A and B are shown apart, each in its own frame.
Chain A
Amino acid sequence: DGGITQSPKYLFRKEGQNVTLSCEQNLNHDAMYWYRQDPGQGLRLIYYSQIVNDFQKGDIAEGYSVSREKKESFPLTVTSAQKNPTAFYLCASSIDGTHNEQFFGPGTRLTVL
């Protein structure tokens, strides 16, 4: 089955620790995205990548880092510099950067204690 996966579904970390969220897709999509969603809010773009080995900052990149070494993988690291990291994190992919249909993974709910 083709799709996009994120793991784990729930993640707990202590304040001050870095944590990496995984995102994998087997849809052969060029573009991948990371969003943050807070309760009752919309999606805010953290980072996006249109092609392997290239990525751009979104609207709220501070305190986050990404890599895109493989087409199918786009991991997100939440660093200790992110002041309020507790949120629902969603990864998505699309055929390319201009294609409006994005496919989302199930999300990772991160809680920092």
Chain B
Amino acid sequence: GQSLEQPSEVTAVEGAIVQINCTYQTSGFYGLSWYQQHDGGAPTFLSYNALDGLEETGRFSSFLSRSDSYGYLLLQELQMKDSASYFCALINTGGFKTIFGAGTRLFVKA
């Protein structure tokens, strides 16, 4: 089957760096995406990795290793507003179906 696994919760301090991991099982996919969702809101797109390696977008970076079936989202200089849920997602190549992980809830403390 196809699945993505993420830690359910992560807690970090304001100004710190936090890494949210995502491991996956799939027969083939186009790339790994990351989304942020605040309570009661809609998910918003953060980052996408089609190829192995690191993609940097401001304070956020995302990494993919296809050989390890693993990716992560790195958040630097954490701010209180970064407290939210973060989801990894992929689109499989057989049928173009999108699969989301269960999400990681990030708590940023002062």
Nearest chain A CB to B101 CB, angstrom units: 6
Which chain B residue has the least Cβ–Cβ distance from A109? B40
| Inter-chain contacts of B89 with A (CB < 8 A) | 43, 100
Query: In the assembly, what is the distance between CA of A97 and CA of B30, in Å?
Result: 10
Residues of B73-110 at the interface with A, using a CB-CB cut-off of 8 Å, are 87, 89-91, 95-103
Query: Smallest CB-CB separation from B48: which chain A residue?
Result: A100
- For this complex, into which size category does the number of interface residues on chain A fall? 20 to 34
Asked if A90 is an interface residue, CB under 8 A from chain B, the answer is yes
Quick one: given A101-B45, A104-B43, are A43 and B87 in contact (CB under 8 Å)?
A: yes
Chain A residues within 8 Å of B87, by CB: 42-43
Given A101-B48, A103-B45, A43:B33 Cβ within 8 A: no
Chain A residues with CB under 8 A of B48: 100-101
Chain B interfacial residues counted at CB < 8 A: 25
CA distance A43 to B87 in the complex (A): 9
- CB-based contact B99/A45 at 8 Å: yes
Contact B98 A33 (CB under 8 A): yes
Is A107 within 8 A of B100, CB to CB?
no
Can you list, as one digit per residue, whether each of A79-113 has a CB less than 8 Å from chain B (1) or not (0)?
Answer: 00000000000101000011011111111000000
For the complex of A and B, 8 pairs with smallest distance between CB atoms: A97-B96, A104-B42, A42-B102, A43-B100, A100-B33, A42-B100, A100-B48, A101-B45
> Which B residues have a C-beta under 8 Å from some C-beta of A?
30-33, 35, 41-45, 48, 50, 87, 89-91, 95-103
Task: Please give 20 more A-B residue pairs, beta carbons under 8 A apart, in addition to A101-B48, A106-B41.
Answer: A31-B96, A43-B43, A43-B87, A43-B100, A48-B97, A48-B98, A56-B95, A58-B97, A59-B97, A90-B43, A97-B91, A98-B96, A100-B30, A100-B50, A100-B91, A102-B35, A102-B43, A102-B45, A104-B44, A105-B42
